[in-house]
Amino acid sequence: MIDLHMHTFFSDGELIPSELARRAKDLGYRAIAFTDHADFSNIKFIVESLKSVVGGLEEYYGLYVFAGVEITHVPPELIKEAVTLSRSVGAEVVVVHGESPVEPVKEGTNRAAILAGCDILAHPGLIDKEDAELASKNGVFLEISARSGHSFTNGHVFRMAKSANAPFMLNTDTHSPHNLITKRFAKVVLKGSGMQDSDVEMAFRNAEAMLERLLKRRRDEKVY
């Protein structure tokens, strides 16, 4: 399992990074990202706090761990600035909180996130075809969410991603220990979004491709 959208107690998650990493490892995860909710008030604090533990967790728990943020409810006009700031302070994964059907995310957030070049657009709700095509062009991954509520539009997100040839991957958006899932259950979520077996395998291959992207960045920047 590769899961690049998780929250610790640095935002609204229940667990400290060490426990979340250990629980993920115990369930067979091989790569995770801590992506706590962030805006301009806490981006630097979150990234610096997470980066202080990532190296040790990788060494002693034997899985890849990335420090990142989920830019959340930032006005669309400021998302590019937030993405740039996140990367400048060392965020390895930049997720943007998309237009979920269960939160009042401002319209235009999906497009602003894609144009800003985030890594993953989380739970993008009823994303339209044009924005999915932009995601394909810009290499932004569209998230299929295992989280209740956000997952209501998974089927639509998958259809838009497939029709636009945009990359898609499954993340859990973990906030609590019980949000972590096994690979077997991941397949249930993916099939529940309307995927055939070949699409499920594509989702896993896409996750591997994103992991390789992140590891290449590390090599290029000589991190850890």
Residue 27 CA to residue 31 CA, distance in Å, equals 12
Q: Supply 94's token pair.
A: 């930049």
Q: What is the pTM of this model?
A: 0.97
What tens-digit pLDDT sequence spans the chain (224 residues)?
999 999 999 999 999 999 999 999 999 999 999 999 999 999 999 999 999 999 999 999 999 999 999 999 999 999 999 999 999 999 999 999 999 999 999 999 999 999 999 999 999 999 999 999 999 999 999 999 999 999 999 999 999 999 999 999 999 999 999 999 999 999 999 999 999 999 999 999 999 999 999 999 999 987 66
- Residue 89: predicted pLDDT: 98
User: d(Cα 94, Cα 153) in Å, to the nearest integer?
Assistant: 22
> What domains, with CATH codes, occur in the chain?
2-221 (3.20.20.140)
Residue 16, phi-psi category: left (phi > 0), alpha (psi -120 to 50), beta (remainder): beta
Q: Looking at residue 221, what is its pLDDT?
A: 86
- Compute the distance between CA of residue 34 and CA of residue 201 in angstroms, rounded to an integer: 24
- What pLDDT is attached to residue 224? 61
Enter the DSSP assignment of 149. Answer: T
